[in-house]
Copies of this chain bind each other. A is one copy, B any other.
Amino acid sequence: MPFNQYCKELKGISTHKIDFLESSSIDEREVKELCLTFRSSIEQTGARREGILDIFGNIVEKCPLITGAIWSKIPFQVYLAVEECVSEFIDSLSSSGKEGILRCHPDLCGRDLTRGTLTEESQNEQSQAGLTSLNPMEREILNHLNLQYKEKFGFTFVICAKMSDKNKITQELNSRLQNDPCQELQNGIDQVKKICHLRIQDIFFHGKIPTKL
């Protein structure tokens, strides 16, 4: 069965996602094997609800409510379905609900990084973007921009750090500061979804178990 067909047989996968996967280096056999392994590991967790919250509880930073909201709807052994359901649920929230998600995110290079109280996922993401080794000047600029951003919009600046680096992040923050609040709320949520995409991939393809909240 071609990979495309395989995905379509699974639950409601949108076409652009299939295109993305087809162009990636993961082949059909590999995906099937990973899915089977993963399914059996979920079944072995015993109590299904608790197992799923253990594994997927932090795919959106500190928002297990979202995982809890979608779990009955989807076959969790299919990673694209997880992502689609998360995205739909987030889109269904009011603006204040979306703002709530952004406010659960830590500042980049902020208080939680300094205190060592980041979740493991955030720690890895910020570290990979070089934010754990800024010089004092770089740190001051970033903190200053973050503060301006929070004062203007009332929520945290969120960016998928793993797809960026410290210089791009500062540029992006500078540029996004010019946006209007509605547009910026949407930009933040788009970034949350990118982070979620990578975290789900980490679980399915690298066997990482997220922070238990």
For residue A182, CB closer than 8 A to chain B, the reply is no
Contacting pair A66 B213 (CB below 8 A): no
Minimum CB distance partner of A94 in chain B: B92
A154 contacts across to B, CB distance below 8 A: 49, 72
Contacting pair B97 A156 (CB below 8 A): no
For residue A39, CB closer than 8 A to chain B, the reply is no
Q: Mask for A31-64, Cβ within 8 A of B = 1, else 0?
A: 0000000000000000101100100000000111
Q: Count identical subunits in the complex.
A: 2
For residue A67, CB closer than 8 A to chain B, the reply is yes
Contacting pair A96 B111 (CB below 8 A): no
Least CB distance, A155 to chain B, in whole angstroms? 8
- The winner among A64, A107, A156 for most chain B CB atoms within 10 A is A64
Cα of A92 to Cα of B98 in the assembled complex, Å: 13
For residue A167, CB closer than 8 A to chain B, the reply is no
A62 contacts across to B, CB distance below 8 A: 64-65, 213
Minimum CB distance partner of A73 in chain B: B96
Q: A65-B104, A67-B100 are known contacts; what are 16 more A-B pairs with Cβ within 8 Å?
A: A50-B107, A50-B110, A62-B65, A63-B64, A63-B65, A64-B104, A65-B97, A65-B101, A66-B100, A67-B103, A68-B101, A69-B99, A69-B103, A72-B99, A73-B96, A93-B93
A interface residues (Cβ-Cβ under 8 A, vs B): 47, 49-50, 53, 62-73, 89, 92-94, 96-97, 99-104, 107, 110-111, 117, 150, 154-156, 212-213
